[in-house]
Amino acid sequence: MFGLTRKNSPLLGIDISSTAIKLVELSRTLGSQATHFRVEHYAIEPLPANAVVEKKIAEPEAVGLCIRKALSKAGTKNKRVAIAVAGSAVITKVITLPANLTDAEMENQIQLEADQYIPYPLEEVNLDFNVIGPSQNSPELVDVLLAASRRENVDDRVSALDIAGLEAIVVDVEAYAMENACSLLQRGKPDERTTQITAVVDVGASTTTLHVLNKGQIIYTREQNFGGRQLKEEVQRRYSLTSEQATQQILDGDVAENYEIDVLNPFKEALAQQIGRALQFFYSGTTFNKVDQILLAGGPASIPRIDALVEDRLKIPTMVANPFDQMSLSPDIKSQQLMREAPAMMVAVGLALRGFD
């Protein structure tokens, strides 16, 4: 059986988080029975403190320079990029339109009606739409997802890419990039994708985001003020380490003699409590009363056995998200290092996949 590589246009998926630039480039081979992805290049480059504050770029120059460093580290020559804005910076609304409209007619109609749904002057907004499918109300209508973000949220990211010599081809929403990456984890498991309700817990530096997926699509999102920074700052304080030393020693699991008992275990317990609390909000605000699985994403998801503790406390099957699980790797990539960082790369991978839409 021979795989056929079709010409496609790979994009660099670049996730600009509050603490780091996460970059990944994939290639795709289309075979007669399956689609196969390979990791060609990747890099993670730490950002200076306060370069990104509350998911907004405060220092485009510093972010652009870090993107340039990540490019150099990754060794890619690709200049075409997919980036994302935070869900909190985006307004989404599902509207219905006549099914017989062309794309151009639909765009004109949306421009005429957008001020009903967007609480900002339209000249200050980036607007996009995507046809979801036929409306349940009438076969003559289609449901259309309208997404809008203030222009500054997009422009800041585009400016940082310009400084790094890159071009933004796709500007996505973080939640949809996460949804895209999750679709990889369900490959080969069609039954699970259509029946399972999955809670994806993305643990960032200062924010933990719960996405609940039903039939592969996000139906609920909630952010809570809790993240890996609390663990790092406690390690710095207790053991008199710099930020860089604390980060590295946490990753290595080699901090101090009583670190696990005194610091790490309380952090794991606190994370499990935060997830439990977020799920209670989900249950109370929807018609659902359970989830079938928890996926842990983000840097702290790499902490050894954190999935086992969450599963034990919440009595829900829990696993660490690894978007590279079924991918092959370029010979230049260090497999062990990539797998350790995999949970933090979900959004970047979801963005890179947009090159193959």
Q: Is the pLDDT of residue 4 over 80?
A: no
Q: Exposed/middle/buried for 313, CB within 10 Å: 0-12, 13-18, 19+? A: middle
Q: Which amino acid is at 226?
A: F
Domain with CATH 3.30.1490.300 in the chain: 89-151
Instruction: Report d(CA 83, CA 188) in Å as an integer.
Output: 27
Tokens encoding 61: 């120059």
Q: Is the pLDDT of residue 189 over 80?
A: no
Residue at token pair 């795709």: 28
Helical residues (DSSP H) of the chain, grouped into ranges: 60-74, 103-113, 151-163, 174-185, 190-195, 228-239, 243-252, 259, 265-285, 306-314, 335-341, 346-352
Q: Is the pLDDT of residue 188 over 70?
A: no
Domain with CATH 3.30.420.40 in the chain: 189-323
Residue 191 parent element (H or E): helix 190-195
Mean pLDDT, rounded, for 6-13: 76
Contact 206, 172 (CB under 8 A): no
173-183 per-position pLDDT tens digit:
999 999 999 98
159-178 per-position pLDDT tens digit:
999 999 999 999 999 999 99
218-273 per-position pLDDT tens digit:
999 999 999 999 999 999 999 999 988 898 888 778 888 889 999 999 999 999 99
Please tell me the CATH superfamily of domain 189-323, with its number. Answer: ATPase, nucleotide binding domain (3.30.420.40)
Which residues, listed in sequence order, are joined to residue 328 by a DSSP beta bridge?
38
Mean pLDDT, rounded, for 269-293: 96
Q: Quick one: pLDDT at residue 1?
A: 26
Query: Mean pLDDT for the chain?
Result: 89
The candidate with the shortest Cα–Cα distance to 157, out of 90, 231, 75, 230, is 90
Within 13 A of 81's CA, how many CA atoms are on the CB side? 27
Backbone φ and ψ of 113, nearest 5° = -100, -10
16-29 per-position pLDDT tens digit:
999 999 999 999 98
DSSP output for 120-173: S-GGGEEEEEEEEEE-SS-TTEEEEEEEEEEHHHHHHHHHHHHHTT-EEEEEEE
104-140 per-position pLDDT tens digit:
898 888 888 787 878 777 778 888 888 888 888 888 9
Tokens encoding 230: 């609390």
Which residues, listed in sequence order, are joined to residue 22 by a DSSP beta bridge?
15, 44
Fold category of 89-151 in CATH: Dna Ligase; domain 1 (3.30.1490)
- Check residue 260 and report its DSSP letter: I
Of 22-31, 81-90, 155-164, 335-344, the range with the lowest mean pLDDT is 81-90
The candidate with the shortest Cα–Cα distance to 111, out of 94, 96, 123, is 123
Q: Is the pLDDT of residue 194 over 60?
A: no
Instruction: Report d(CA 168, CA 151) in Å as an integer.
Output: 14
Cβ partners under 8 Å of residue 262, min gap 6: 238
